[in-house]
Amino acid sequence: MQKILVARPIFPDVIERLKQYFDVDWNNGDALPAGELARRLADKDGALTAGDPIGAAVLAAAPKLRVVANMAVGYNNFDMAAFNAANVLGTNTPDVLNETTADFGWALMMATARRITESEHFLRAGKWQKWAYDMMLGADVYGSTLGIVGMGRIGQAIARRARGFNMRVVYHNRSRVAPEIEAELNAEYRTKEALLREADHVVLVLPYTADNHHTIGAAEFALMKPTATLTNIARGGIVDDAALAEALRERRIAAAGLDVFEGEPSVNPALLTVPNVVLTPHIASASEATRRAMANLAADNLIAALGAGPRAGQPPSPINPAVMGKARS
């Protein structure tokens, strides 16, 4: 029987499903240190991960490994050059989390614009003593301009929600989306710089790559309106968190909502000292139905890629399908 490692805690019923096909080594505890991860992968044919870093050294220590299924859309934890060189397949879980993540991005943007977290802290601290015309004044969302950086599946889902708020939508993407999609979403393409100047609310939904590192930093905050908000539901590292904390402290932008951070689960301490930021622990896809769909899609990929189940040899969402059918190198 082929052997797999499930590197993180997931739903027990998904583990039982995998046991129908494989000898399963399940880490039902904290994330494995790199050395322990490599040791436990040494005799494995496949793995299911959730953000665990897999690079050349780990792959070299696991000569039988043929597929790693990531329980996430983003796969910046995979060194894809190393995967391709070793003919190891990587898979991810697109689509099943689009709407849930868009919902959360919208909620985070609204909470940021209307100072929800700051207001709750104010109330809990016993500071609310009277009504005041200028107490916790925030920014309107309805009728404002929404700037979306990254117009993929989730970015488009966010843009669709903007119609109900009568928002003007501008977007920036590596390449323009098809004219019919622009028309459907009533979205106008902008350069990144133009978008930052125009938008009242900027939402980041782009994948993390080396080229996207610190896409938003001090220079970009200088372009934004002092009344603007920034929401990041993409990946840590896309925003320079230190520069963001400074911009928030100096009120160069009004507020930010962050679900992802550089070096998470660590958070830049400066972000914890500014009041005008909403912080959540990478939970944009965290509805039970969606997380179950992600876990099952990761399992589907692993089962199929290792030649089992009804889709044997045809995993639903391969990242680097060109390596399929090639001998492990």
**Contact 9/294 with Cβ under 8 angstroms?**
no
- Given CA atoms 177, 147, 224, 221 in this order, what sign does their dihedral have? negative
Q: Is the dihedral of CA 173, 179, 182, 185 positive or negative?
A: negative
Is there a contact between 315 and 305 (Cβ–Cβ < 8 Å)? yes
Query: What is the residue-wise DSSP string for 276-310?
Result: SEEE--S-TT--HHHHHHHHHHHHHHHHHHTT-ST
Q: How far apart are CA 277 and CA 21, in angstroms?
A: 46
Give catalytic residue positions.
235, 264, 282
